[in-house]
Structure 1
Amino acid sequence: MSPPGIGRRAAMLLGVQFGLAGVLAWRMRDLQIVQGDRYKLLAEENRINLRLIPPARGIITDRTGALMAGNRQNYRIIMVREQARDPAAVLARLAELIELPADRQERAIREMAGRSPFVPVVVAEHLSWDDVVRVSANAPVLPGVEAEVGLSRFYPDGFSTAHVVGYVGPVSDADLAKMESPDPVLQIPRFQIGKTGVEQRLESELRGEAGTLRIEVSASGRVMRELGRAEGTPGRDVELTIDKGLQDYAMRRMAGQSAAAVVVDVTNGDILALASAPGYDPNSFVFGISSAEWKGLLADEYRPFANKTVTGTYPPGSTFKVAMALAALEAGVVSPRDVVSCPGYTQLGNRRFHCWKHGGHGRVDLRRSLSQSCDCYYYEMGRRLGPDRISAMAHRLGLGIAHDLPMPAVSTGNMPDAAWKKAVKHESWTTGDSFNYGIGQGFTLASPLQLALMTARVAGGIDLAPRLVRAVGGVAVPDPAPVALDIDPRHLAAVRDGMFAVSNEGTAYRSRIVDPAMLMAGKTGTSQVRIISAAERAAGVTSNEQLPWRRRDHALFVCYAPYDKPRYAVAQIVEHGGGGSAVAAPIARDILLYALHGGLPPLSAYPAEQRDAIEKERLAMPPEGQEAAATPARDPA
């Protein structure tokens, strides 16, 4: 029989053991049942990573569905430093198979050095399928190198649509700094966003939403396998009002010029062309523009990066006489039959304001003032109206307004009044200011878009708003209900008659359309960029051809057709082109005819004596889809 003390000690030990077992059981129950979901989640997060999958960017098309910005497969080569072991040696072997300059190899090595050894780095992209095949066939001697495929932006028309569509580029720190709460997808290396044009202004619609990729990783973070993926939502497609064929023709017609042309549908405000010459190739920015190309674009005095159609502002010159005539009629300071005497100048104190015609136009009524572009008539209208009434009419016609378009830096222009001069120049308005206002000079500035809209409103009698987007994501942007322009129809008819006389009797007679079904109405304009001194005027004004390019006048022309049933309006400017009738009017007429015919018009639309020259001019134009091969040599500045 065992001693009693031993039994008591055993019982105590047994009790302690049972107590410890109970505590462990309770804790295991707490960990596995009560907090099981929490710890399971923590374990999954340690084992599984989520990565974002870039969404496919929405495409941009013209009004007919023709592609203006799309996506295409981008074959690229990636390298994992850990697997390559000797990245420099592997890159050297890779350079024997594909084009891989030394500076790109050095950049890849720097990128790999700045990342974890198991993170892939892009060493080459935008490769051909043949390049991929060569790399894949030599995989045994290229450790750590893989070929993969993604999507990159592509602009099939390059030069002709660059200013409208814009381009995309990698997200920069400056881009992120402008955003209050950046989309996580923007953190993806080399992710691209819109930098200018429609690509920039409709970025949120075009970008889409990222997908997710679930991958299993080791404790060190190395990818082990893919567990699943959820595809993202592609960006929404955007359909523009632009007619790509017309846009391309306008760009080719302006080849070799620093110029801009805008075409507007008179019935609804749709913009069919926003052509700014010269253009540039947006694909260069997607693929990585070279230093030489970049410097060449910046050095070009024709400013290929500038979108002259909406950001460029110019003294409208005599094209502004359309607005002046309406302002005078609406204010009742003149009737269509009233005459003003033009001796060739208007005297104001000891200063003379000259008409463009040295001997003057004699007695001039409204119709003749437009057809012959008499400056003295509009000096007098400026005197009678004053700046406030001129400014008010200009705004009714769409001038001096930054119109709501999905384009960056849409200009307001300037249609001043007396308060503007007091606030900006700290001076009172003078009669001389009104004289300059009357002929579209002085403080007056307008963009080609605004001049096209002015012409469309006058032609159709509708208070149009310009429209550039027809549909987003397949949902049509509704046409605004037409609203009549708040101008007496009789006054509009009188000004239209004067514009008809410009093209068929007056300053633009040589650029007339002879097809009876498509007769054109228009207004020429020449805006000075220099001051003509009294001494030069006395000795004889120097012709534009004798001046350096930058000191020549701007050439302008606005027009619409058909005269009896208006459909399209065009505004044309040629920077430092000289006379509007000689330089801008022929280009605008050709663009207008192309719009009316939906393609090249028959030669019968032109005056008989010009048809041979027109045919030769067509043959000399760059081929479709191409800009001029080289910009002509400039005159010395």
Structure 2
Amino acid sequence: MRRTARDSEDSARRVNRRALLMGGAFGAMFAVLGARMRFLSVEQADEFRLLAEENRINMRLIPPERGLIQDRNGKLVAGNEQNYRVTITREDAGDVEAVLNRLSHLIPLTQDDLERVRKDIERNSPFVPIIVADRVAWDDFAKIALNAPTLPGVTPEVGLSRHYPLVEDFSHVVGYVGPVSERDLAELTDPDPVLKIPKFQIGKIGVERWMEDTLRGSAGNKRIEVNAVGRVMRELERTEGTPGADIQLTIDADIQNFVQVRLGDLSAACVVIDVNTGELVACTSAPGFDPNLFVRGISQRDYSTLMEDDHRPLANKSVQGAYPPGSTFKVVTALAALEAGVITPETTHYCPGYIEFGNRRFHCWKHGGHGTVNLTRSLEQSCDVFYYEVAQKVGIDAIAAMGKRMGLGVRHDLPMSAITEGIMPNKEWKQERWGQDWRIGDTINASIGQGYILASPLQLAVMVARVATGRAVEPRLVKSIGGKPVEMPTPPLLDIDASHLRAVQAGMDAVMNSERGTAKSSRIADETMLMAGKTGTSQVRNISAAERARGVTSNDDLPWERRDHALFVGFAPVDAPRYAVATVVEHGGGGSTVAAPIARDALLRALTGGIPPLDAYPAAQRGRIETDLNALREKLRVTTTPQTTRA
């Protein structure tokens, strides 16, 4: 059928309408698509580029800044210094050997260095940065930075390294840090991930080790973008870690330095304690060592030198050394006897120079004896026979119990390494340790601090602090953590009769300040600072009957390692005690001639706050003392302004 013109016109109109509708729809759709494409390709370009290159976005840990360690006055003892280092990340390096080869042409790397790097790379995840060189010189550091485009995966970094500005003064107390070892990790059930960063350093001994968790802080992290050749393009995100808390010690760095210098080349230890608070103001062990050597990586030569030294510089003699306390222990025997009621301060015994028990003769140090002595004179002149007699009456168990009450045979809780418990023996101890019964001869030996008894200088300082105050003084080393004081309650009373304490204190006063006192030559002349004390000399060898018959060999005529140990304990001022001291000089000879003068100087330094004044010494000694103090002054460390800020 033939279409009319009107039908054709209507059909064309409908087609044009559909075309317009469809065109509009397509146009709108393309407009939306175009807008979306523009949004994705322009406005979201960075985000999608990063998503497309996700395999080149790395997460890296940021080691936390280690907390500072300061002395009681804020002087820096352990701090952090800038350290230039170079690291390599296997994931970004590609051909590690080629990169290391190029790197070795820019900075000095030995075959041992390269082998260590290879081993570290194999042991760790691909994304963990491995330290190639530490403590890099600035010129070498700049070379690496300039050649960065040819060194994929290599990053020059500015980090922090531990530094001990006071060197040997705090070497035994603070200790040192070193790289985390497999043994360190094995001791932890859930090690902090930051510990797995190669060459990350943690405390190895001393405060650095025992307060590691406090000092370390917590790690941060960062997201970085690297290009196709492993070069870091930019840092995308950073979350800072938490620095370790600063620790303030009770030690006074100036007193510590004075005592350390005063000990000189001796193999010795000296502890000074505040008798009212228990704060250690000096805790020295000589000789010391440079802890910075261990931080940098000590050489085999340096380590062998330290290990082969017969004065044992690596040993902390102040808390680790265990010595027969010798006659310093007589204060314990005296208190045990007084408390047990077997003697009074007026009780006397006759000393002919020895006693005989069974088929054995126990000698007094004075060959001809002391005659009749009471408690005060027995301490004043250090009569052995008096204590031989007393000990048989009171018994070892009571003596041992008193020793424990006075802080001996107890491991004091301080953040230092290898703190000894010492030995405060009794009948049960000998049976458990040796499977033998206790004998009277053992008690006689123990009464004068010989036989099985062993004590550290720290324990002896605690002992004399308790004698001085009648309180259960506990030593403390940490004054504050993170700026917050560490609270310590007032030490409780020891429940010892005050008159008995006064009787022992009077005997110790006589040791220093009477004409017949064994340490009168080491007394303090200034009456406002009078000192009480007790000397001790402990044998390290047996003296045979034949030697006694012909005359005991003088210490000066013996090899150093066979000489007696010299000991001294004391406190001052007598009327209002502030500080107590204990000094042990290994193989030093007599306590009165060797240990007591050191202890006097240490107490004077603590009491006066400076170099001891000449008028504190007996007039006859001042010429020699002045020369000695001038020589000592030249060796003291120059006082610096306290540093309380971070590197």
Q: TM-score, normalised by structure 2?
A: 0.85
Match of 1:7 in 2: none
- Name 1:569's counterpart in structure 2: 580
Query: Are 1:560 and 2:571 matched, yes or no?
Result: yes
Name whichever of 217-226 and 463-472 sits farther off: 217-226
Aligned to 1:509: 520
Map 1:241-280 to 2 at 5 A: 241-280=250-289
Shift of 1:88: 3.3
| 1:59 match | 68
Between the aligned partners of 1:445 and 1:119, the Cα distance in structure 2 is 49
Bigger mean CA deviation after superposition, 406-415 or 102-111 = 102-111
Deviations 1:106-138 (A, max 9, x none): 6456656888999754333224546545x3686
SS in 1 for 2:635: coil
Question: 1:463 and 2:475 equivalent?
Answer: no
Distance, in Å, in 2 between the alignment partners of 1:43 and 1:387 is: 81
Equivalent residue in structure 2 for 1:624, among 614, 630, 636: 636
Q: 1:427 deviation in Å?
A: 1.4
Look up the equivalent residue of 2:400 and give its one-letter code: S
Specify the code of the residue in structure 2 equivalent to 1:372. Q
> Alpha carbons of 1:84 and 1:181: their partners in 2 closer, same or farther (altered >3 Å)?
closer
Query: Structure 1's 203 and 86: CA in aligned 2 closer, same or farther, altered over 3 A?
Result: closer
**2-structure distance, mates of 1:426, 1:362:** 39
Give the corresponding residue for 1:91.
104
Q: Percent identity between the aligned chains?
A: 58
Give, as a single letter, the amino acid of the residue that structure 2 aligns with 1:454. M
Contact 1:84 1:90 in 2 (8 A): no
- SS at the partner of 2:173? helix
After TM superposition, the structure 1 = structure 2 runs for residues 412-431 of structure 1, keeping only pairs within 5 Å, are 412-431=421-440
**Matches of 2:622 and 2:201, distance apart in 1:** 48
Which region of structure 1 is more displaced relative to structure 2, 217-226 or 615-624? 217-226
Counterpart amino acid of 1:271? L
- Residue 492 in 1 paired to residue 504 in 2? no
Q: Residue 83 and residue 107 in structure 1: after superposition, are their counterparts in 2 closer, same or farther (change >3 A)?
A: closer
| 1:333 counterpart letter in structure 2 | V
> Do structure 1's residue 584 and structure 2's residue 600 form an aligned pair?
no
1:593 equivalent among 604, 622, 634 = 604
> What letter matches 1:69 in structure 2?
A
- For structure 2, the residue ranges without an aligned partner over 5 or more in a row are 1-48, 639-647
Q: What does 1:157-172 align with in structure 2 at a 5 Å threshold?
A: 157-172=166-181
> Which residue identity does 2:609 align to in structure 1?
G
Which residue of 1 is the match for residue 185 of structure 2?
176
Contact 1:87 1:109 in 2 (8 A): no
SS in 2 for 1:436: helix
Aligned mate of 1:124, from 116, 133, 137: 133
* Whole-angstrom distance in 1 between the partners of 2:312 and 2:429: 30
How many residues align? The count is: 583
CA deviation profile, 1:32-69 (whole Å, cap 9, x unmatched): xxxxxxxx999897564322110001111111111111
- Which SS does the other structure have where 1:248 is aligned? helix
For residues 280 and 309 of structure 2, the distance between their equivalents in structure 1, rounded to whole angstroms, comes to 28
CA distance in 2 between counterparts of 1:57 and 1:88 reads 34
Paired with 1:542 and 1:521, the residues of 2 have a C-alpha distance of 30
State the partner residue of 1:36. Answer: none
Report deviation, 1:619: 3.5
1:361 aligns with 2:374: no
Aligned partner of 1:49 in structure 2 is: 58
Matches within 5 A, 1:99-118: 103-104=112-113, 107-108=116-117
What does residue range 103-502 of structure 1 map to in structure 2 within 5 Å? Answer: 103-104=112-113, 107-108=116-117, 121-129=130-138, 132-133=141-142, 135=143, 139=147, 143=151, 147-216=156-225, 224-502=233-511
> What is the rounded CA distance, in whole Å, between the counterparts of 1:419 and 1:219 in structure 2?
74
Change (3 A) 1:351 1:119: closer
* Shift of residue 83, structure 1, vs aligned partner: 8.8
Query: 3-state SS of the aligned residue for 1:368?
Result: helix
Deviations 1:332-374 (A, max 9, x none): 1111111100000011112110000000000000000001000
The code of the aligned residue for 1:567 comes to: R
Give the C-alpha shift of residue 399 in structure 1. Answer: 0.7
- TM-superposed CA distance for 1:221, in Å, is 7.7
Change (3 A) 1:218 1:104: closer
Give the direction of change, closer, same or farther, for the CA distance of 1:87–1:47 in structure 2 (3 Å limit).
Answer: closer
TM superposition shift of 1:608: 1.5
SS in 2 for 1:94: coil
Separation in 2 of the partners of 1:210 and 1:118?
A: 16
Amino acid in the other structure paired with 1:425: W
Alpha-carbon RMSD? 2.6
- Kindly provide the amino acid, as one letter, of the partner of residue 568 in structure 1: Y
Give secondary structure in 1 for the equivalent of 2:73. Answer: coil
* AA in 2 matched with 1:578: G
Is 425-434 or 572-581 further displaced after alignment? Answer: 425-434
Residue 22 of structure 1 corresponds to which residue in structure 2?
none
Report the Cα distance in structure 2 between the residues aligned to 1:262 and 1:310, rounded to whole angstroms. 9
Q: Whole-Å Cα distance in 1 between the matches of residues 85 and 384 of structure 2?
A: 63
Distance 1:47 1:83, change over 3 A: closer
Superposed CA deviations along residues 201-234 of structure 1, whole A, max 9, x for unmatched, are 0111111011011123579987554210100001
Counterpart residue number, 1:10? none
8 Å contact 1:266–1:460 — kept in the other structure?
yes
How does the TM-score come out when normalised to structure 1?
0.87
TM-superposed deviation, 1:104: 3.6
Question: Secondary structure of 2:134's partner?
Answer: strand
* 1:170 to partner: Cα distance: 0.6
Instruction: Give how far 1:509 is off.
Output: 0.7
Residue 94 to residue 216, structure 1, CA distance change in 2 (3 Å): closer
